[in-house]
Amino acid sequence: MIRIKITKGSWAGREWAVAEGTNPINFLHEILEEGRTWEIDYRYASPDESFQWGRADLVMRMVLALQEGRSVFFLGKEYRGLQTVGLLENAIVTSGRMITLGFDDERGLQILAPARE
């Protein structure tokens, strides 16, 4: 089970359990479109839910950062502007690496990708 808490916007502080089968990209996109930000609680999530929602969370954080004029950093490159979303997603996929979030703040969004062994 995934739980979402709204952290900014008209519903700040509200939280709820997301219904099973909810499309994470669509759900988070709606929150983003309404000018809100979120936190996801994965404590009670299945491994599949954690993967699906984690992926969607990162994609929507990338969109939010670029939409707000913040940079996204990945493998030594800086991506700026919404027009770079496709290039960034392609760079992540073709890297073949596991990724994680470095930071998401006023500096921008950093996506970490440990070196393959």
Residue 117 lies in a domain: no
Percent of the chain topping pLDDT 70:
99
- pLDDT digits 0-9 by tens, 46-62: 999 999 999 999 999 99
Q: What is the pLDDT of residues 51-96, one digit of tens each?
A: 999 999 999 999 999 999 999 999 999 999 999 999 999 999 999 9
Residue 78 in tokens: 């800086």
Confidence of residue 9 (pLDDT cuts 50, 70, 90): confident
Total domains in the fold of the chain = 1
CA atoms within a 13 Å half-sphere pointing along the CA-CB vector of 25: 5
Domain membership of residue 54 (yes or no) is yes
pLDDT at 117 over 70: no
Question: Residue 10 sits in which domain range?
Answer: 3-112
**Residue tagged 């700026």 (tokens):** 80
Contacts of 9 (CB under 8 A, 6+ apart): 34, 35, 36, 37
* Per-residue DSSP letter, 19: P
pLDDT averaged over every residue in the chain: 94
How confident is the model at residue 53, as a pLDDT? 97
How much is the pTM? 0.88
**pLDDT computed for residue 115 by the predictor:** 80
